[in-house]
């Protein structure tokens, strides 16, 4: 959710129970402004909160003018002092995929993982130490790639390539808001290139440049609901429980927030 | 050709009533013109220009229309065959674009002006512009607009055909207009479009132009205007009125044009009620806000009860907000009102906002309720009736007498559910999907449901009658599953500060079944309160005040072998053979007793089951203690030392660091061991039979006296076998 309209967004997303206490709210409003100034971001998103056992990580992201350019991610434990996270790499994701369970809430905490490695003579048990910070980076990256959502038309592709916020976006209409096809993944398209020419023919190149949600695997990994008497549409990811996207139809208010344990719901096929 | 058209137009001006028809004549004439040789002065150029156009004129398709302006670009001298590469060169040049764009409105005007009335004002413009035409001839040539074309026509007429040097582009514009006209006419019969497709393949650009035009022509749902017509109207107005510095006042011109637009509000047969669901829920919620005024006569009595029953939702919501959980303020208030509605309409002694369970399609708002004396007996009776019916069925089965062995597998004994107000059924739960919608009472929970619910993990859909399809078959639908999950969550996460509740002394005699265990408690009147810091630092200051659910699925142990009295009554008739006399006594399952500190809760694989936090580190003196369950993500409790509350919001699932694994299949039943009863002897051989016969004869001979009796026996055997 946009840091500028944090309070309104929090109010809108409150149906999922994911609020912030008043002191957190106030400190975020203060500190995110400073973050924007210091890091020279074009736009700052309050990304969400990862619940740890000891303390919680508050995550913010800074966007440059090109909305799909790689983002910078910051975390904070007290909502005032922000630290920059390194960009996620494939290696990090692979490395941290062995770690299960909850986050501790201490960035310097080290998970120990024993694995068998083939050495010159026979196998040997090696204890790999994984820092929680690394895990945090890779989890945020996975969530961003999997379930970050933006409504269709909120961004547009300029003829020169960069993707900008569409200032004439006036929100989805009610009937569109109930369809998954009106929402896009907020990331570089992956599946779009695999589409057939026939499917591509119907797309508007300035708007349909991202993957739509409707082809997500498994089918039914989104819950879409109208709340507050159809004044608000809420999408909840079932794959990453805790991610909530909200959009008030006919208005510009939209955004997503993640409040959860930072674990993927791999039981999804059993639960549907 | 232009010669031909302009006199015709003049004629049309003089005779506006026939405006519609002459155009068709013109177009027809224009296509014929080269052959007929009527346009003498321009023959030179026409030889060059009309050739290709004529070739293209038959198609009369949108494609050919799009390619027409191309020829205008290519200049006077060059003969321009209608080829695609030239279209490519046409793309980037902006003048061509504007010309194209502007020529099209003209056409659209004409399309709408099939009826003579609409055509008339157009020619009126023509006359006007012809008056001014001489002054601005050179600019208009370079500039744009429908009027431009009109003035061109008129000018041409004025200067006469011999002015060949005047501007070839004008002529081309004109011709283009004519073709546009043709095209617009051809739009009416679709048959004409087909040859064009075959002749000129549609390029990307054309498609793009078509879709852009279609977008511009999209009619606004509010005003009924479209941008295309609006722009053309605006330009018409500008060129009509010729204001100074038109670019500066373009906004107000736009406004004027819009204001001048008049459209009758047409009656439509259908009522517009597309926003119906919004209004529907608003209407329902309106009832919540109005209900306060409804009570009239026995208000005082009602109030007295309601005061006791209704929880202070807003106060606990305030504390939960400090903790960073909970719903929004307005939603909480609506729920508060909905709870008031619930307490007003049911005989409720105590009510509590339990929480919210998220579903895929809708959510559940759950209220925990204790009825006053004299609550719902009727559904208890119903269930007993159904049980008896089941018994009757099984008895009927028993009555059949047949030889075949009967199935002597007996289902494991069903564990009866707990009484209302006891154990897991201590409270009654009401749910609704949204505040304002009707509350639905959940059925009481049975142990089988709890046991099965522990083995499955399903998302709630939000509709109570959804069947639950799972591997251990779930006995019931979603309402039962929801009730089972509520029971499990309550048993796991409802905690209170140590000392707030104490065991009730006087209720000892009620607990007959529970030997030595107490399952009721009351508020401690002498509760002093606990320091918030203590609550945060030590988990042993929090205790469970809901009974632990045994793995049997009940809170109070039920011995499935020695049945309780009611059970015996029911099942006495059924069978006597294998009563509970067998000696294998199952050891009684014991869980942690009531009011056990949560510090004794089991760990989940090195993860502590609870996390405590102070709500604010900045102002610790006014902070509250917040407790978060790690076992049931979404379960929270707060206490400020004196008060406490529990709250759940989430998907209704238990946490486990491992994946969900479906339970293992039940063991395969072993077949009957192959023994003496199963195997048969070999058939007797001839030798054996002969030996047997000899032996028999010998026996007969030796025992003459016994013969008669043996015969009798044999006869009886034979008889039996038959």
Q: How far apart, in whole angstroms, are the C-alpha atoms of residue B409 and residue B432?
A: 42
Q: Which of B342-346, B459-463, B573-577 has the lowest mean pLDDT?
A: B573-577
Helix, strand, or coil here: B268?
coil
> Which range has the worst mean pLDDT, A73-87, B233-247, B617-631, B695-709?
B695-709
The pLDDT value given to residue B365: 92
Residue A73's pLDDT is 92
Residue B46 scores a pLDDT above 70: no
The helix (H) or strand (E) run that includes residue B688 is helix B686-702
pLDDT score of A99 = 83
Which of A14, A23, A238 lies nearest to residue B328, judging by beta carbons? A14
Q: To probe the interface with A, which of B283, B324, B632 has the most A CB atoms within 10 Å?
A: B324
Three-state DSSP at B114 gives coil
Beta-carbon separation of B634 and A174 below 8 A: no
Is the whole model's pTM more than 0.90, yes or no? no
- Which range among A40-49, B394-403, B484-493, B630-639 shows the weakest confidence by mean pLDDT? B394-403
Cβ contact, residue pair A230, B275, below 8 Å: yes
| Contact call for residues B49 and B172 (beta carbons, < 8 A) | yes
Report the residue of B214, B272, B328 to disrupt the A interface, i.e. the one with the largest count of A CBs within 10 Å.
Answer: B328
Q: Sort out which chain B residues have CB atoms less than 8 A from A270's CB and list them.
A: 456-458, 660, 662
Q: Does A197 touch chain B if contact means CB atoms closer than 8 Å?
A: no
Ranked by mean pLDDT, which of A111-125, B377-391, B455-469 comes out on top? B455-469
Phi then psi dihedrals of residue A258, to 5 deg: -115, 120
Cβ of B658 and A266 within 8 Å?
A: no
User: Is the pLDDT higher at B500 or at B572?
Assistant: B500
Segment B400-415 mean pLDDT: 74
- The C-alpha atoms of residue B455 and residue B82 are separated, in whole angstroms, by 74
Indicate whether B467 pLDDT > 60.
yes
For residue B546, the model assigns a pLDDT of: 86
Q: In this predicted structure, what is the pLDDT of residue B364?
A: 92
What is the chain B residue with the closest CA to A7? B328
Contact B660, A264 (CB under 8 A): no
Spatial distance between the Cα atoms of A197 and B89, rounded to a whole number of angstroms: 26
Least confident of B12-16, B520-524, B535-539, B619-623: B12-16
Contact A53 B617 (CB under 8 A): no
More confident residue, A14 or A54: A54
Q: Does residue B320 contact residue A8 with C-beta atoms inside 8 Å?
A: no
Q: Does the distance separating the beta carbons of B655 and A229 come in below 8 Å?
A: no
Instruction: List the single residue in A with minimal CA-CA distance to B207.
Output: A201
The shortest CB-CB distance from B659 to any of A20, A101, A266 is to A266
Please check the confidence at residue B83 and state whether its pLDDT lies above 80: no
For residue B12, pLDDT over 50 is answered with no
Chain A partners within 8 Å of B627 (Cβ) = none
Cβ atoms of B313 and B339 within 8 Å: the answer is yes
A chain contacts of residue B325, beta-carbon cutoff 8 Å? 17-19
Tokens coding A88: 């996620």
Q: Which of B457, B630, B657 sits opposite A271 (nearest CB)?
A: B457
What is the per-residue pLDDT for B96? 41
Instruction: Answer for the pair A220, A112: CB distance below 8 angstroms, yes or no.
Output: no
Contacts of B594 (CB under 8 A, 6+ apart): B503, B517, B518, B519, B521, B544, B545, B546, B547, B548
Higher pLDDT, B549 or B105: B549
pLDDT at B519: 61
Higher pLDDT, A21 or A228: A21
Among B74-78, B465-469, B595-599, the range with the most confident prediction by mean pLDDT is B465-469
pLDDT of residue B301: 55
Q: Is the pLDDT of residue B651 over 50?
A: yes
Evaluate if residue B186 carries a pLDDT over 80: no
Lowest mean pLDDT of A151-165, B247-261, B264-278, name the range: B264-278
Could you tell me if residue B685 is left (phi over 0), alpha (psi between -120 and 50 degrees) or otherwise beta?
beta
Residue with tokens 């969900």: B660
Tens digits of residue pLDDT in A115-134: 777 666 667 777 888 888 88
Please provide the DSSP assignment of chain A as one string. -BSTTHHHHHHHHGGGTB---HHHHHHHHHHHHHHHHHHT-SEEEEEEEE-BSS-PEEEEEEE-SSTTSPPEEEEESSSSS-EEPPPP-HHHHHHHTT--S-B-S-TT-EEEEEEEEE-SSSEEEEEEEEEHHHHHHHHHHHHHHHH-EEETTSEEE-TTS-EEE-TT-----HHHHT-GGGEEESS--SSGGGS-HHHHHT--TTT--S-BGGG-SSTT-EEEEEETTTTEEEEEESSSTTEEEEE-TTSS-EEEEEEE-S---TTHHHH-
- Cβ contacts of B460 on chain A, cutoff 8 Å: none
Between B604 and B570, residue with greater pLDDT: B604
pLDDT of residue A132: 87
Instruction: With CB atoms and an 8 Å threshold, state whether A17 touches B617.
Output: no
Q: What share of chain B has pLDDT > 70, as a percent?
A: 55
Cα–Cα distance for residue pair A125/A113, rounded to 1 Å: 10
Find the range with the poorest average confidence among A45-54, A174-183, B360-369, B554-563.
B554-563
Measured between alpha carbons, how far is B198 from B352 in angstroms, rounded to an integer? 75
């Amino acid at each position: 959710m946009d840091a500028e309209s944090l309070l309104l967004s929090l109010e809108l997303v409150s149906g999922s129970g994911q609020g912030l206490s008043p002191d957190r709210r106030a400190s975020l409003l203060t500190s995110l402004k400073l973050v924007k100034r210091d890091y020279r971001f074009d736009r700052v998103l309050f990304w969400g909160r990862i619940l740890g056992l000891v303390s919680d990580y508050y995550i913010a992201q800074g966007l440059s003018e090109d909305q799909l350019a790689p983002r910078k991610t910051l975390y904070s434990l007290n909502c005032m002092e922000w630290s920059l996270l390194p960009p996620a790499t494939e290696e990090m994701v692979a490395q941290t995929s062995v770690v299960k369970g909850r986050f501790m809430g201490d960035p310097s905490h080290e998970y120990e993982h024993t694995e068998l490695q083939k050495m010159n003579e026979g196998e040997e048990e090696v204890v790999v130490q994984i820092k929680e910070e690394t895990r945090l980076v890779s989890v945020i990256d996975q969530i961003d790639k999997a379930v970050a959502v933006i409504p269709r038309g909120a961004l547009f592709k300029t003829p020169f390539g960069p993707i900008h916020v569409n200032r004439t976006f006036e929100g989805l209409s009610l009937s569109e808001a109930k369809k998954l096809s009106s929402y896009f993944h907020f990331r570089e398209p992956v599946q779009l290139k695999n589409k057939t020419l026939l499917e591509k023919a119907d797309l508007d190149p300035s708007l349909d440049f991202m993957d739509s949600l409707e082809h997500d695997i498994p089918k039914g990994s989104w819950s879409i609901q109208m709340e507050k008497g159809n004044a608000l549409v809420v999408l909840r990811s079932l794959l990453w429980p805790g991610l909530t996207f909200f959009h008030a139809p006919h208005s510009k208010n939209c955004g997503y927030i993640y409040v959860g344990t930072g674990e993927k719901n791999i039981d999804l096929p059993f639960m549907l | 050709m232009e010669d031909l058209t302009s006199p015709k137009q003049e004629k049309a001006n003089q005779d506006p009533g026939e405006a519609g028809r002459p155009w068709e004549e013109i177009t027809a004439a224009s296509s014929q013109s080269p052959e007929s040789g009527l346009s003498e002065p321009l023959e030179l150029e026409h030889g060059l220009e009309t050739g290709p156009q004529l070739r293209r004129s038959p198609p009369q398709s949108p494609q050919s229309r799009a390619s027409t302006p191309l020829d205008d670009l290519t200049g006077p001298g060059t003969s321009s065959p209608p080829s695609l590469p030239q279209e490519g060169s046409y793309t980037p040049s902006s003048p061509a674009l504007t010309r194209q764009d502007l020529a099209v409105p003209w056409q659209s005007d004409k399309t709408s002006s099939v009826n003579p009335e609409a055509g008339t004002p157009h020619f009126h413009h023509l006359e006007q512009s012809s008056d001014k035409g001489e002054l601005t001839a050179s600019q208009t040539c370079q500039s744009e607009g429908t009027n431009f074309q009109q003035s061109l026509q008129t000018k041409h007429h004025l200067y006469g055909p011999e002015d060949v040097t005047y501007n070839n582009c004008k002529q081309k514009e004109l011709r283009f207009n004519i073709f546009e006209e043709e095209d617009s006419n051809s739009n009416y019969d679709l048959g004409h479009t087909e040859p064009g497709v075959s002749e000129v393949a549609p390029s990307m650009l054309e498609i793009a132009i078509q879709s852009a035009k279609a977008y511009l022509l999209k009619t606004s749902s509010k005003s009924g205007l479209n941008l295309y017509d609006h722009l053309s109207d605006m330009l018409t107005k500008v060129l009509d009125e010729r204001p100074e510095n038109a670019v500066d006042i373009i906004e107000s011109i736009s406004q004027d044009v819009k204001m001048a637009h008049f459209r009758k509000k047409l009656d439509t047969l259908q009522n517009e009620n597309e926003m119906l669901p919004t209004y529907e829920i608003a209407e329902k919620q309106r009832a919540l806000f109005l209900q306060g005024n409804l009570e009239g006569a026995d208000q005082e009595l009602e109030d007295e009860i309601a005061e006791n029953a209704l929880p202070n939702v807003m106060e606990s919501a305030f504390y939960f907000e400090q903790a960073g959980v909970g719903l929004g303020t307005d939603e909480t208030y609506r729920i508060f009102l909905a709870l008031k509605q619930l307490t007003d309409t049911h005989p409720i002694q105590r009510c509590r906002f339990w929480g919210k369970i998220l579903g895929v399609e809708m959510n559940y708002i759950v209220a925990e309720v204790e009825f006053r004396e004299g609550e719902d007996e009727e559904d208890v009776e119903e269930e007993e009736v159904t049980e008896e019916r089941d018994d009757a069925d099984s008895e009927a089965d028993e009555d059949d007498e047949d030889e075949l062995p009967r199935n002597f597998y007996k289902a494991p004994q069903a564990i009866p559910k707990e009484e209302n107000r006891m154990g897991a059924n201590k409270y009654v739960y009401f749910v609704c999907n949204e505040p304002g919608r009707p509350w639905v009472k959940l059925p009481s929970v049975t142990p089988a449901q709890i046991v099965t619910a522990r083995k499955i993990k399903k998302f709630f859909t939000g509709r109570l009658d959804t069947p639950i399809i799972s591997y251990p078959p779930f006995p019931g639908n979603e309402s039962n599953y929801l009730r089972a999950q509520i029971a499990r969550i309550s048993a796991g996460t409802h905690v209170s500060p140590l000392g707030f509740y104490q065991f009730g002394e006087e209720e000892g005699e009620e607990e007959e079944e529970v030997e030595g265990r107490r399952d009721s408690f009351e508020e401690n009147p002498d509760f002093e309160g606990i320091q918030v810091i203590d609550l945060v630092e030590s988990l042993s200051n929090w205790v469970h005040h809901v009974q632990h659910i045994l793995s049997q699925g009940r809170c109070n142990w039920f011995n499935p072998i020695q049945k309780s009295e009611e059970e015996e009554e029911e099942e006495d008739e059924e069978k006597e053979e294998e009563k509970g006399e067998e000696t294998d006594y199952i050891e009684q399952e014991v869980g942690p007793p009531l009011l056990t500190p949560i510090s004794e809760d089991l760990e989940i694989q090195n993860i502590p089951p609870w996390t405590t936090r102070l709500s604010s580190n900045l102002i610790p003196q006014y902070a509250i203690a917040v407790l978060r369950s790690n076992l049931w993500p979404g379960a929270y409790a707060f206490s400020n030392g004196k008060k406490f509350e529990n709250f759940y919001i989430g998907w209704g699932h238990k946490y486990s660091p491992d994946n969900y694994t479906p339970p293992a299949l039940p063991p395969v039943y072993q077949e009957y061991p192959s023994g003496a009863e199963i195997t048969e002897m070999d058939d007797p051989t001839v030798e054996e039979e002969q030996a047997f016969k000899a032996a028999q004869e010998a026996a007969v001979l030796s025992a003459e006296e016994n013969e008669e009796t043996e015969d009798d026996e044999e006869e009886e055997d034979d008889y039996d076998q038959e």
